[in-house]
Amino acid sequence: MVRGWWFVVNGEKHWRVSALNEAGAVNHEPGTVVGETAMTLLEKAAPAMLSGGQVLVECLKREGVQHVFCVPGESYLGALDALYDAPQIRVIVNRQEGGACYMAEGYAKATGSVGVCFVTRGPGATNASIGVHCADQDSTPLVVFVGQVPRANRGREALQEIDYRQFFGSLAKWVTEPESAAKLAEVVPRAFHVARSGRPGPVIVSLPEDVLVERAEVSLGGSYPRGRAHPDPERVGELAARIAGAGRPALIVGAGVKMAGAREAVVRFAEAFGLPVATSFRRMDAFPNSHPNYAGTLGGGWSPAFDTIQAADVVVVVGDRLSENTTADYHLLKPGQALLQVDIEPESIGRNFAPQLAIVADAKLALEAALERAPKAVPSAREAWVKERHQHYLQSSTPGDRPSRSTSMDRVMRDLNAILPKDAILTVDAGNFSGWIHRYYRYDAEHSFLGPTVGSMGYGLPSAIAAKLAHPHRAVIGTCGDGGALMTFQELCTAVQFGIHVVLLVFNNGSFGTIRMHQERDFPGRTIGTDIRNPDFAAMARAMGAEGYTVKRSEEFAPALRAALACGKPAVIDVTTDLEQISVSATISDLRAGKSTSSRRRP
Ligand SMILES: Cc1ncc(C[n+]2csc(CCOP(=O)(O)OP(=O)(O)O)c2C)c(N)n1
């Protein structure tokens, strides 16, 4: 049995421990500063007498958590205090819970591990909800620890009290409120398991304030073992036969491929079966873009990959739920096309389109099993189909040279492709500017793109900061519009405080451009609620301790980008763009004249 407690003298924490373990009795004199030693003893002994906060942090350590994102609150002081004694977990302090939760979500996307954030009760939880919604629609494993009123105050509409089961009920995979410190030892590992298993998603763990400080004797287990769902061999045989017998088969890959670490397997699968490959909306890095089988990305209406999928007779979908954006408002697949679907989550199969074949399995295991049944050679007609589709992608993913009254987005994209290192990571916010980032950049490296498939603004900067934390040696470029910029711009202070050197590009057209586009198409010329007057973003960045650059003409962009990458600080480039080119495929004049093919929905 180990007993440990601490007290503070002159702001310093002092540990006292009396321990009896296999090594015999250990006693420290009262007042001895033993810090780590005492904690090590506490960690090794089982069962141990720990506070709820300590139980929670012990569980985080066992999950291998390295970063947590938070805005502090008095409702979870017990958890913060336990983090004080866990130097292996870096606590990133954010300025708004939306930023904290987006960062945790982005960190999960950038690493494939579970993102973790801590927010206070009531207002903290409601601010964080944007990140929970994002993790839910983007299938991102996330655990959000939320402060809660003490047990005795529940049900009294106590200060900032919220029933989280109701509030997060339709947003999260699981919402739980452990009743005691001992229960935390059971709930926390399970929360991680639920977040990452099947179709990953967000889990909310509500932390009654007094549970975090009550002490309990607990036995701590480890992280749950990871199960992998193997495919049914018969169905795999059918999959291989159906593809082999097809005329123009094509493949759509999504987040399931990334989460399963199936990058190499999917490349071999596409090559062996002779399949052009489309990536789903905002999952461009699920397949190397320079590979000869790549056919482009889907999303937001027409795209080069849209043509490819529509021309296919058999469509294989691996690890993607065929969302509204990926399928152009559910118009992508037509009757007569055969859909063969592989997904880890039975519920994602057939959700929007009825499949002819379904395999519930881990993407990597399914692809590897199918590879064992690959044909000896790809027929030449199939090779020609793949080649033609890749050519189509190359043509439509090479930026043109459209006129611009300020900075040309086409030129920006050429410069980004030319200047950024091959393993750079780009992130996007919601907004029409992202159409260029999706279509004209070559995502060849693994984990080289992060975007909110949910289409929520404010994502670009926090996710870039998270990506840089996860991959400190890679260049990370966050992108956003001038509207999205001010939703989370305060997180630039977080980047400055923690020395996280990201570059943020703000595409500044003086408008909530996406909504203006919808207005111009549906109510031509009747602009309302979409003009915005902006601050000097570069000056704001400098005021926060970052570097700031202003670009008003195309030729100024490349030098500014090089300077920002080299400046040794977080940096913002305020890029003035031409509102007339309202989207990657439409001008305002075209829209007013009813000539545009711009999608109905482009978040
Ligand atoms: C949090 C949130 N609020 C509102 C919207 C609706 N919305 C989608 S795009 C957009 C405008 C984006 O403007 P901006 O960031 O300037 O980018 P642009 O479209 O001009 O490129 C708005 C308001 C949203 N998707 N997310």
Would you say residue 302 has pLDDT above 80? no
User: Residue 596 has what pLDDT?
Assistant: 72
Backbone angles phi, psi at 310, to 5 degrees: -65, -30
The more confidently predicted of residues 44 and 495 is: 495
pLDDT digits (tens, 9 = 90+) for 545-586: 999 999 999 999 999 999 999 999 999 999 999 999 999 999
User: Residue 48 has what pLDDT?
Assistant: 74
pLDDT digits (tens, 9 = 90+) for 116-155: 999 999 999 999 999 999 999 999 999 999 999 999 999 9
Of 579, 510, 583, nearest in space to 300 by CA: 583
DSSP-assigned letter for residue 60: H
Provide the β-strand partners of residue 17: 4
Would you say residue 33 has pLDDT above 50? no
Report whether residue 105 contacts ligand 1, using a CB cutoff of 6 Å: no
To the nearest 10 degrees (0 to 180), the angle between helices 77-84 and 52-62 is 50
Report whether residue 433 contacts ligand 1, using a CB cutoff of 6 Å: yes
- In the three-class reduction of DSSP (H, G, I as helix; E, B as strand; rest coil), residue 473 is classed as coil
Pocket test for ligand 1, best of 96, 432, 457 (most atoms within 8 A of CB): 457
Cα–ligand 1 centroid distance for 456 (angstroms)? 8
Cα–ligand 1 centroid distance for 512 (angstroms)? 6
Report whether residue 457 contacts ligand 1, using a CB cutoff of 6 Å: yes
pLDDT band at 391 (very low <50, low <70, confident <90, very high): very high
By DSSP bridging, strand 314-318 and strand 338-343 are parallel
pLDDT digits (tens, 9 = 90+) for 172-190: 999 999 999 999 999 999 9
Strand runs labelled E in 154-214: 174-176, 202-208
Atom of ligand 1 at shortest distance to CA of 455?
25
Backbone angles phi, psi at 55, to 5 degrees: -60, -45
Pocket test for ligand 1, best of 432, 580, 584, 600 (most atoms within 8 A of CB): 432
Looking at 407-503, list the stretches that DSSP marks H as alpha helix, in order from N- to C-terminal side. 409-419, 434-440, 460-470, 482-488, 491-497
Atom of ligand 1 at shortest distance to CA of 430?
9
What is this structure's pTM? 0.91
Report whether residue 73 contacts ligand 1, using a CB cutoff of 6 Å: no
Would you say residue 602 has pLDDT above 50? no
Report whether residue 131 contacts ligand 1, using a CB cutoff of 6 Å: no
Would you say residue 22 has pLDDT above 50? no
Would you say residue 163 has pLDDT above 90? yes
Rounded to an integer, the average pLDDT of 2-7 is: 44
Of 147, 143, 146, 145, nearest in space to 135 by CA: 143
pLDDT digits (tens, 9 = 90+) for 367-388: 999 999 999 999 999 999 999 9
Which residue's alpha carbon is nearest to atom 13 within ligand 1? 512
- Find the largest Cα–Cα distance for the chain: 86
